[in-house]
Chain A
């Protein structure tokens, strides 16, 4: 009795499926339905993420911040870099955005130029043997070694 009803239900569902999604067995729905919803939802979530994102990509932000400084730096020179940034990525992004200039973290070995990136200090820092060449805003400063 129960088996008979089950067979009728199965036959009915099978015919409905074949009417709307001809050529495939019901098993295909296990893939097609999640795919349909996941792909559309993923697209919409990406779309909303772009419009609602509060902060920009860090690298884009650094590229904008460091662009004026980059113009003043000698190409392929080695330059010291000091920062009070607590995030580990700061130095790595600086290395990336300042190519072809090569930067080394810290004050040693001493080079002709020094970049200071001080986001938490209001007073201009001083470095022995260097004089301030230019301030670029956003805590970015370029120092030149005294002759």
Chain B
């Protein structure tokens, strides 16, 4: 029954994608992408709407759900119109699975068997071992959802100074999504945050699978998805119900969309609009998402406006900004009206920051910790990637693409941003590094795996016919 709660966000997000890609998004091969990307977007959109509803009308009632249903209906009518009109003009057909290779059936079955075991592990840990999640989950995201749900007219207490431990400046995608579902079922069931955590944890894996299937063929997609299942630290963080996993999901979707844009330039404007939406969802999930958003705007400005200087690339950038608008404006409103100042700036002053910046031992301490955490992440899974790369080699077609370097630079800059945030951290540095660094690696992990498999050679054996081709 609880699973039905995901349907409205799924419909809202999926119908937006269907409206943008009326023909391709509904093809069997692309349905997974439409459903998972759509549901993630739907969570972002519905959480923003319910927050605005709280501000304007107070606690959501039947009218709220009527409005949500109205939005679904509107999008459905628009999507239907787009589908019917696109039947006559299929010239811009895009996004079909890469059929260069036959699908290795046992690889597919192996993935699904391992996925069932991983989902079993997730369910055991989440439902039986830590039903409320770990410290940050119940102290920040679930507590905020509870206060919104039980708060009545005094719901804004959630941003009170009394609750400074809960980081009242953090955005609300996760808490508002939980709150929305609790309102629907009428009780603060622990199953809801677990279902959301499960969706984002396994959603990223399905997005990698489908994204690589489109770009590199299904076998490569399955291999990358199986590789994701090895990263038990990632799965574990999912069961902790932390917002880092949804953030990683939205960073991945943005990177994936930017890669697809290069492959299908015909749909660049629509894809950039979607990328804008997903990037703003990242910013609406955690403050680190705001850093990601700032960096992606910087990178796109450099690439699209300064380097390319073409009219088309400027319009692409405009569509990206257009996609940002709905959710980012909600977040700006939240930050200006409700959020307390962030710890990094609230507990710090300029002279403190300057003194931290000139302490060389802080650089050394952070650098060593970063290197240790990256290389020993998930029992040294990075070395497995290195060995795989050494044996398989790079796929030069993809590695040389001009799209890859801005994306790798973006992830690198995000890491540098995290480095800087530790450098000026007002907290005990050792404690801060130990408690936060491994989660920051998780933000980048799915995107990194996606880019890694995108530019390494596939492991499929060519058949005689394929060799001839």
Contact = CB atoms under 8 A, between A and B. Distances in A.
Interface of A: 18, 21-25, 27-28, 30-32, 34-36, 38-40, 42-43, 46-47, 49-50, 53, 57, 59-60, 75-76, 89, 92-93, 95-96, 99-100, 102, 104
Interface in B104-146: 104, 106-107, 110, 114, 117-118, 120-121, 124-125, 128-132, 135, 138-139, 142-143, 146
Contacts of B146: 96, 99-100
A52 to B, nearest CB: 11
A46 B106 contact: no
Contacts of B139: 92, 96
Nearest to A62: B132
B230 interface: yes
A99 B150 CA distance: 7
Contact of B147 (A59, A93, A100): A100
Interface of B: 102, 104, 106-107, 110, 114, 117-118, 120-121, 124-125, 128-132, 135, 138-139, 142-143, 146-147, 150-152, 154, 157, 162-163, 165, 219, 223, 226-227, 229-230, 232, 235, 384, 387-388, 391-392, 459-461
Given A46-B124, A50-B124, A60-B131, A31 B461 contact: no
Contact of B142 (A42, A50, A76, A96): A96
Contacts of B388: 27, 30-31
The SS class assigned to the B binding surface is helix
A25 B101 CA distance: 13
11 contacts: A22-B104, A23-B104, A24-B107, A27-B388, A27-B459, A31-B223, A31-B384, A43-B118, A43-B124, A53-B129, A76-B151
Contact of B143 (A36, A42, A96): A96
B459 A35 contact: no
Contacts of A39: 114, 117-118, 121, 229-230
A28 B163 contact: no
Contact of A50 (B102, B129, B138): B129
Contacts of A21: 106
A35 B114 contact: yes
Contact of B461 (A23, A59, A104): A23
A99 B138 CA distance: 12
A109 to B, nearest CB: 11
B299 to A, nearest CB: 30
